[in-house]
A and B are shown apart, each in its own frame.
Chain A
Amino acid sequence: MISLYPYFAFAKKSFLGRSAYRFDHFMGILNTILRIFIFWEIYRALYGGRAEVDGVTITMVATNFILSLGLDSVFCVNDYYLPNRIQDGSIATEMLLPVNFHGRMLADNLGNALFQLLFHFVPAVAISVIFIGIAAPADPLMLILFFLSALFGYGVLWTISFVAQMLSFWLINVWSIMTIKNVFINVLSGSMIPLWFMPDWMSGIIRFTPFSSIYFTPVQIYLGQLSLSEILQGFLIQLFWIVFLFSAGMFLWKKGQKKLVVQGG
C-alpha cells in the first residue's frame, strides 16, 4: 500500500523551510508588487485615459495582472529539481530510495506553493487591490471555481515543467529549454499580454496549447466571462493537459531510467 506520509512530511518541510529565508521572501513580495505596478502603468499609458479598448476595460486588465502575477508567485515550480540530480549523479541515489521520485518532487513544490499562497499571494494581491483596484468576482460561486481552476492551472504548469525536466536525461544543459518554456508561458498564458488583445488567428492557436489554461482560464472564470458550460469545458481542457503532459512525462521518465540502467549513465 502506498503511504502518503512521506509526501505530506516533505511538503511540510518545504513549507517550513521557506520561512527561514525572510529577507528573500520580503524581496519576492516587493518584486511581485513592482511587476504589477509596472504593467499597470504601461497599460494605463496605452489606454490613454480611455475606459475600455475593444470591450476590455482597464479594470479587467488590472484584474488580469493582479491575479495572474499573484498566481505566478504561487506557481513556483523548481525546474531544476531533476536536472540538478542528473548532473551531479545523485539521481542514482534517488532511484534507490523507497519513495516515489516525482511524488517527492510534487510534495516539495506544493509545500512551497502553499507557503507562497498564504504569505506572498495574499499580501501582494491585498496591496495591489488597495492601490490599483480589482474587479469583484462575478459571484461567490465564481470565486470558488476560480480557485479550483487555479489549482488545475498549477497542475498544467507543473506538468509542463515535469516534461521539460525529463529532457535532462538526454541533454547536458536544459537551461535553454527552460528559458524557451518560460518565454512561451509568459507570452501565451496571458500574464504579460491579456489574451483578449491577441489577434483572432493567434488566440485560436493558443487555445490548442496548454498555456492559456494556466492563468487565463481562472481569470476568465473570476470575471464571470464564461458560462457554466464553458467553465466545465475549461476544466476538461485543463484536466486533459494535466493527464496528457503527465503521461508524456512518465513516458520520458521510464525511457530515461531505462537509459540509466542499460547504459549506466
Chain B
Amino acid sequence: MIFFENVCKFILSDLSIHIPQGKSLGLIGPSGSGKTTFLKLACGLLRPESGSVHTMRLIPEKNRRELSDMTGTFFVDIPFFQGNDTVESNFRDLKIIYRMRDDIFDKEYHALAEQLGFRSFEKETVKQLSLGQRRRAEIGATLLNRPKLLLLDEPAEGLDQTAKDSLREILKERRSEGTTVVISSHNMEEISAICERIALLDHGVLRYYGEKEHLLKNFAPYEMMEISFSGKIPDMEDLPLKSYSLNQNKLKLTYNSNYVTSAELLRHILAQTTITAVNTHKSGLSDAVSRIEKGENYELY
C-alpha cells in the first residue's frame, strides 16, 4: 500500500519501509522526528529529496488527484474546512467533490455526525466552533467517502474523551473492513488500542518497525506483581526475578515476562501460602518507546 525506498526529506534520512494493505500502523516518536513529513510524503504534499515513495503503486506527488479519491488525510496543522461556511455546507461540498450519491452521502454523514457528535453544531459556521468541535467535524470529513487508506496526523489532539473513544471505535471498524490506517500520535494508549504495527522514528531514523506485540516483548518485557498473602512467607529462591521486596504480608515482584510468566509465579507461591489479593501491572508501549529513545538494547532471552 505504501512503499518508501531510501527516502530523504528534511529530517527523514534514508528511510525504507513497506506498509502492506489492510494493516494499521502507529507512527510514533518524539516531536520533530519526521512523523508529519512521512505522512505528507505518503499523500504527495511533499516531494522526496532522494529515494522514492509509492502509495497504492502511484507516485503520490505526481498523482495526488487519483490518490485523493481513495485516501483520507488529516493534518493537525492544516485547516480542512472553509471558515465562513457551515459544517453541513462544507460536507455538502465534499459530497460534490467525491461525487457521492444522495442516499450514500446521507447515510455516511448522519452516521458520522452521530458517532463523532457534530450534529448539534452542523448549522454553525466553522469559524464559530471551538478547536475540539472543529476537529470532530474535520475527522468526520476525512472518513466521509470511506477511503481505502487513512493518513491521520495526531487525529485525537483537541478531542474530548468521548470523541476520542468514538474515533477509536470508528477506526477499529474501518480497519476490520480492510482500510489501511496510518496514525501519528504521541498518545501511546490510542496507538496501542488501534494499531497492530508500530514504526518508531527518532530524529528521522526508523528505530523500530514491526508488530506491536514484538515491540512489547522485546522492549517492555517487565511486569510487576503485588501479592497479599496470609500464612508463611513464600520461598522465592531460584526464580528469575528482577526485584523482590517484602512489606509485612505484601510481596512486590518485578520480573521479565520472557523468562517467567505470572501464572508460573502464582503457582509457585500458592504451593507455599494462601494468596488473598493480586495486582499486576504490565509495561506498555510508552515504556518500550522510552527504552528505545534512551538507546537501551534489545532484551535478550
Give residues in A with beta carbon < 8 Å to B. Answer: 3, 5-6, 9-10, 13, 88-90, 92-93, 95-100, 258, 260-262, 264
| Total residues of chain B contacting the partner, CB 8 A | 30
The one of B37, B78, B83, B92 that contacts A93, using a Cβ cutoff of 8 Å:
B78
A-B contact pairs, 7 of them (CB 8 A): A90-B79, A90-B82, A95-B44, A98-B66, A98-B69, A98-B97, A99-B97
Give every chain B residue within 8 A of A5 (Cβ-Cβ).
Answer: 96, 99
Within the assembled complex, what's the spacing in Å between the Cα atoms of A83 and B65? 21
Would you give the shortest CB distance from A5 to chain B, in whole angstroms? 6
Pair B79/A89 contact, Cβ less than 8 Å: yes
Asked whether B43 is an interface residue with its Cβ less than 8 Å from the other chain, the reply is yes
The one of B47, B73, B93, B98 that contacts A96, using a Cβ cutoff of 8 Å:
B73
Known contacts A6-B97, A6-B99, A10-B96; is A96 also within 8 Å of B79 by CB? no
Give every chain A residue within 8 A of B69 (Cβ-Cβ).
Answer: 98
Main secondary structure of the interface of B (DSSP, over half): loop
Asked whether B134 is an interface residue with its Cβ less than 8 Å from the other chain, the reply is no
Main secondary structure of the interface of A (DSSP, over half): helix
Pair A261/B78 contact, Cβ less than 8 Å: no
Would you give the shortest CB distance from B46 to chain A, in whole angstroms? 6
Give every chain A residue within 8 A of B79 (Cβ-Cβ).
Answer: 88-90, 93
Pair B99/A93 contact, Cβ less than 8 Å: no
| CB-based nearest A residue for B69 | A98
Would you give the shortest CB distance from B219 to chain A, in whole angstroms? 32
Within the assembled complex, what's the spacing in Å between the Cα atoms of A258 and B47? 9
Give every chain B residue within 8 A of A260 (Cβ-Cβ).
Answer: 45
Q: A6-B96, A10-B96, A93-B78 are in contact. List 4 more A-B contacts (CB 8 A).
A: A96-B45, A98-B68, A99-B97, A264-B37
**Mask: chain B, 75-94; 1 = CB below 8 Å from A; 0 = not:** 10111111100000000110
